[in-house]
């Protein structure tokens, strides 16, 4: 992990080849040696089916394009021709803690669309690659609950522990940063998908 000035990192081109041979993604067993946290936000509750469908389409598009985090906090790049989350794809992350930032990467290990008795759950899981400040996995789940009322719920489920010496410098700081960025991501995602209604 190498720190840069945020201004130079924000506009630099992504180098996909740098991460293609970074090593294996964190296994589930290794991730579960860390702590687990879940962050959930109800994005929409509505009786109106057309509104629910419109907002759900926008939410799915943002989810599959990894447009979850505010770009001032995290700029992501999916290394796949489709530009969408796909199993096996590397997701390069540029994380900004002004005035500095760094680049890390994850690999998508699961993409799912599951029906259940109250609706659907769609989402993906990625695992950190060597060089990431965390050792872990994160699952993003969008729950589409059939109504009435219809509900759209986003959950971020994280298993992680510090993976780089800089992440262990100040005990608790890494966890605080992760919690803060996750909560900000939930509200940013909600605001983006509701902006047109």
Q: Convert the pLDDT of each residue in 164-175 to its tens digit.
A: 767 667 667 778
Q: Provide the pLDDT for residue 181.
A: 92
CATH code of the domain in which 77 resides: 3.30.530.20
Give the pLDDT band of residue 27 (cuts 50, 70, 90). very high
Q: Work out the average pLDDT over 21-45.
A: 96
Q: Provide the pLDDT for residue 108.
A: 98
Domain ranges, residue 67 = 3-194
Average pLDDT, the chain: 93
Give the pLDDT band of residue 136 (cuts 50, 70, 90). very high
Give the residue ranges of DSSP H helices in 38-163.
49-64
Q: Which residues pair with 78 in a beta bridge?
A: 91
Q: Provide the pLDDT for residue 25.
A: 97
What are the DSSP calls for 129-154, one per residue? Answer: PTTSSEEEEEEEEEEEE-SSSEEEEE
* CB crowding 41-73: b at 16 or more within 10 Å, else e: bebbebeeeeebeebbebbbebbbebebbbeeb
Q: How far apart are CA 50 and CA 47, in angstroms?
A: 9
Give the pLDDT band of residue 122 (cuts 50, 70, 90). very high
Q: Convert the pLDDT of each residue in 91-113 to its tens digit.
A: 999 999 889 999 999 999 999 99
> With 90 as the cut, is the pLDDT of residue 176 above it?
no
Q: Provide the pLDDT for residue 170.
A: 66
Q: How far apart are CA 67 and CA 32, in angstroms?
A: 26
Q: How many domains does the chain have?
A: 1
Residue 151 tokens read as 């509900």
Which CA distances in Å does 2 have to 8, 26, 57, 65, 103? Answer: 13, 20, 37, 26, 7
Q: Convert the pLDDT of each residue in 61-93 to its tens digit.
A: 999 999 999 999 999 999 999 999 999 999 999
């Amino acid at each position: 992990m190498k720190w840069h000035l945020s201004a130079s990192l924000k506009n630099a081109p992504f180098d996909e080849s740098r991460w293609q041979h970074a090593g294996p993604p964190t296994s589930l067993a290794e991730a579960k040696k860390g702590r687990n946290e879940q962050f959930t936000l109800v994005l929409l509750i509505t009786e109106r089916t057309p509104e629910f469908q419109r907002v759900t389409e926008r939410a799915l598009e943002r989810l599959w394009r990894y447009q979850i985090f505010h770009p001032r906090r995290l700029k992501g790049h999916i290394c796949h021709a489709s530009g969408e989350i796909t199993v096996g794809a590397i997701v390069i992350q540029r994380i900004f803690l002004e005035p500095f930032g760094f680049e890390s990467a994850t690999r998508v290990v699961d993409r799912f669309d599951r029906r259940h008795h109250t609706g659907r759950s769609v989402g993906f899981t990625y695992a950190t690659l060597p060089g990431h400040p965390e050792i872990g996995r994160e699952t993003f789940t969008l729950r589409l609950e059939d109504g009435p009322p219809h509900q759209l719920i986003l959950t971020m489920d994280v298993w992680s522990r510090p993976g780089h010496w800089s992440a262990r410098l100040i005990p608790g700081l890494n966890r605080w940063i992760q919690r803060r960025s996750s909560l900000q991501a939930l509200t940013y995602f909600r605001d983006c998908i509701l902006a047109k209604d």
